[in-house]
Amino acid sequence: MIDTILLDIDGVCARTQYHLLTSFGVPFKDESEYPVECGWDIVAAANLLSGYNRFTPATFFGAITREMWATIPVTTEFPELLELCENLVGLTNVHFLSSPTISPESLAGKLEWIQRNAPFQMCRQFLIGPSKHVCARPSSLLIDDRDENVEEFRQRGGQAVLLPRPWNSLHGYDAMTHLVSCLGG
């Protein structure tokens, strides 16, 4: 039985890849254009879409401002995802679980994103850090868009759902159909 749901922000609740790529002027209309062959590597995707090696990881991530993190638009699934989670465990048992970059701007911007986009009662329900697996337990469910996070969470005894995105192994699947089939609805 699930009593706690942990939601990744980037790629699950927020259109991070879309927002960052378009903010840097990379020719990119929507997630359907994300180059699947780049997988999780957004810098490789930015360079491929730009047509040349425009970015290094340092220049790409170093140029992301607090405001950029704070103003990422929500995913189309976010409202319905919250409703599914609320129906399963209640919003008091739903928490954001996100891994910021090493920049303090990322951490501050993600906190602002939560305050701008989450229901009021969830504005202090967040856990921050790259070690998502430490939250794994049999009654916790992680919803994430990174294969490695999902696999490690499961290996540590938690339950996890991989949200289909062009950068993961479920690319090509419909995200809401997959969520509803995994969570019920």
Delimit the domains of the chain by residue range. Answer: 4-15+71-183, 16-64
Whole-number Å distance between alpha carbons of 145 and 175? 10
Residue 148 and residue 76: Cα distance in Å, rounded?
24
Percent of the chain with pLDDT over 90: 95
Q: Cα(20)–Cα(6) distance, rounded to whole angstroms?
A: 23
Per-residue pLDDT band for 185 (boundaries 50, 70, 90) equals low
pLDDT at 118 over 70: yes
* Predicted confidence (pLDDT) per residue in 38-50, tens digit: 999 999 999 999 9
In this prediction, residues 21-37 reach a mean pLDDT of 93
User: What's the pLDDT tens digit per position in 126-180?
Assistant: 999 999 999 999 999 999 999 999 999 999 999 999 999 999 999 999 999 999 9
What letter represents residue 113's amino acid?
W
Residue at 39: amino acid letter: G
pLDDT of residue 28: 87
What pTM value is reported for the model? 0.96
Q: Is the pLDDT of residue 69 over 70?
A: yes
Indicate the average pLDDT of the chain. Answer: 96
Q: CATH second-level architecture of 4-15+71-183? A: 3-Layer(aba) Sandwich (3.40)
Q: Is the pLDDT of residue 31 over 90?
A: no
Q: What is the mean pLDDT of residues 15-29?
A: 95
Instruction: For residues 78 and 49, give the distance between their C-alpha atoms in angstroms, rounded to a whole number.
Output: 26
pLDDT value of position 144: 98
